[in-house]
Amino acid sequence: MVGKVYLIGAGPGDPELLTLKAHRLLTTAEVVLYDRLVGQEIIDLIPETAEKMYVGKAKSMHSLPQDELNALIAAKAKENKIVVRLKGGDPFIFGRGGEELEELIQESVPFEVVPGVTAAAGCAAYAGIPLTHRDYAQSVRFLTGHLKDGTTDLPWEELVHPAQTLVIYMGLTGLEETSASLIKFGMSPTMPVAVVEKGTTKNQRVFTSTIGSVYELAVKNEVKSPALLIIGEVVSLQEKLEWYGKY
């Protein structure tokens, strides 16, 4: 017999951002495979009776290659178990969820996707930064700072656009190159930027700067991953909105 796989987005860290469905499935799972971006408080919700498997990845340090992980998820389901594949954020936004589902389809394993709060929405909200605002930005673009081949070769000309907010996942990767490239293609060196480290968690830190100075700021403050980069005029609202949001 074959069980079922639930591909669940755990959100950016705060356990209260889990959806009701995600919480229900997680607390009744028989096998849970989770990555390094899942917050400890969420991991603590996994039942003691469940088999917990850490399959986390850091840049250039994969505990389990993706193809082997895909096969492992399918194999666990084929043991007639309810399997939860728990991912930080949302599984379909830079989470490689599509690759894992392709394997399940190939192996005829039933599955269901439970979306989660993506890091861009969660971290921006907790930092007091509206990603869109009628006076500052009418569009928002999600990017990853770490491409499949390890480069940061992004479509720079398209990114330097007025009234647009950029959100770069894994933003510390190639931060110096990202900053220099955006300026080279026309972005003002004074464009506001925020770096959100460990967003939505108790250890969240938010630093604001400009695109011309953000690399030095990150180095000075020893910012560590996971960190999200938010670039755009909306960042100028951060100090006011975050302060008032605490009261």
Phi and psi at residue 211, in whole multiples of 5°? Answer: -65, -25
90 is catalytic: no
148 and 109 both lie in a single domain: no
Mark which of 114, 149, 179 sits at the end of a domain.
114
Which member of 4, 52, 57, 78 is catalytic? 57
240 and 158 both lie in a single domain: yes
Residue with tokens 């026309």: 186
Mark which of 56, 88, 114 sits at the end of a domain.
114
12 and 80 both lie in a single domain: yes
Q: What is the CATH number of the domain that holds 239?
A: 3.30.950.10
80 and 184 both lie in a single domain: no
124 and 240 both lie in a single domain: yes
Strands (E) in 67-204, as ranges, are 82-87, 111-114, 139-144, 164-169, 192-197
Which member of 4, 14, 21, 35 is catalytic? 35
57 is catalytic: yes
pLDDT along the chain (247 residues), means of 10: 93 96 97 94 96 77 78 96 97 93 96 97 96 95 74 85 94 93 97 97 96 97 96 93 58
Instruction: Give 52-71 pLDDT, tens digit per residue.
Output: 999 976 554 456 788 899 99
Cβ pair 231, 193 in contact under 8 A: yes
Q: What is the pLDDT of residue 7?
A: 98
Mark which of 61, 86, 114 sits at the end of a domain.
114
Structural domains of the chain, count: 2
Handedness of CA 203, 209, 212, 216 (dihedral sign): negative
Instruction: Give 153-186 pLDDT, tens digit per residue.
Output: 789 999 999 899 999 999 998 999 999 999 999 9
Task: Characterize the bridge pairing of strands 192-197 and 205-210.
Answer: antiparallel
The boundaries of the domain holding residue 218 are 119-245
Residue with tokens 């930064």: 129
Phi and psi at residue 172, in whole multiples of 5°? Answer: -75, -25
Residues 6+ apart with CB under 8 A from 179: 211, 212, 214, 215
10 and 67 both lie in a single domain: yes
Q: What is the CATH number of the domain that holds 72?
A: 3.40.1010.10
